[in-house]
Amino acid sequence: MVDFDAYERELWAGRAPAYERGFARLTSYTVEPLLDAAGVGAGARVLDVGTGPGVVAAGAVRRGAEVSAIDADPGMAETAGRNVPGVDVRVAVLPETPFGDETFDAVVGNFVINHVGEPGAALKELRRVLRPGGRLALTCWRMPGSGALAVVRDAMEVAGVPWPEDIPVTPFMEYGEPGAFRELVAGVFEDATVEEVTWEHVVDPEEWWETGAMAKVGSNGVILSRQSPDVVAAVKAAYNEIVGRYAVGDGTVSLTAYALLASGTR
């Protein structure tokens, strides 16, 4: 059985630039709702877990918060430190964090809990670093992936590309619907709630292909990188047909994104 956390470290190594150009734009939509759900305001001590290129950390800084951030990938942490000067950014792999008990008023994580091998253990650690009464807010993708998250995978299925045995599926798959996600969070936090969030991601389809599939961002990109040129061409043809259904008339496509936003109190 493939170790999911070890796979994740390999998956994201060196991907920070491509992620910043592509998926970071997609996930930026939920930054403000996430910070709202955690009650982040001026003077709040905030921990941003899985900061990536620092989009959430930057949003918290704009609100006047005192921000610390962690990411499991050194390249992501370096990117965040460059993008958000003055923020305390460290490399750390959940379910461990390099902070003392009750350090923060709020903990936020934008699409990171679905990249953790032990989601329950991660939640307990995030509770540990929150002060009593502090707020947690996390986003995850609605699963199985659909809309913006699925167009490349759908094209691969059309082209007959199978899912390899050595690439693990996220353990979070069972929690990617509102009831299960709320139950998971409610096992560790009080007043747990989950809301569904959808938005339209308007993007150049060629850019979406290049910064995702061809840049090996995520498992779909890794799988595609193993294929022959003929298979890649077949996938691209299927992709063009699929995204063409969402054209908005100016060379871009509008892809719906489906996510969940959970919050709770320590």
22-48 residue pLDDT tens: 899 999 999 999 999 999 999 999 999
Length of the chain counted residue by residue = 266
Go through 44-77 and write b for each residue having 16 or more CB atoms within 10 A of its CB, e for each that does not.
bbbbbbbbbbbbbbbbbbebebbbbbbbbbebbb
The predicted-structure confidence for 63-91, as pLDDT tens digits, reads as follows 999 999 999 999 999 999 999 998 999 99
pLDDT band at 2 (very low <50, low <70, confident <90, very high): low
How high is the mean pLDDT of the chain?
A: 94
**pTM given for the model:** 0.93
Return the closest-CA partner of residue 200 out of 253, 139, 141.
253
Residues 6+ apart with CB under 8 A from 238: 154, 155, 156, 158, 159
Query: Whole-angstrom Cα distance, residue 138 to residue 155?
Result: 29
Query: Whole-angstrom Cα distance, residue 136 to residue 124?
Result: 11
> What percent of the chain has a predicted confidence (pLDDT) above 90?
80
Full set of structural domains in the chain with CATH = 4-265 (3.40.50.150)
Residues 6+ apart with CB under 8 A from 249: none
Are the C-beta atoms of residues 181 and 143 closer than 8 Å to each other?
no
> What percent of the chain has a predicted confidence (pLDDT) above 70?
99
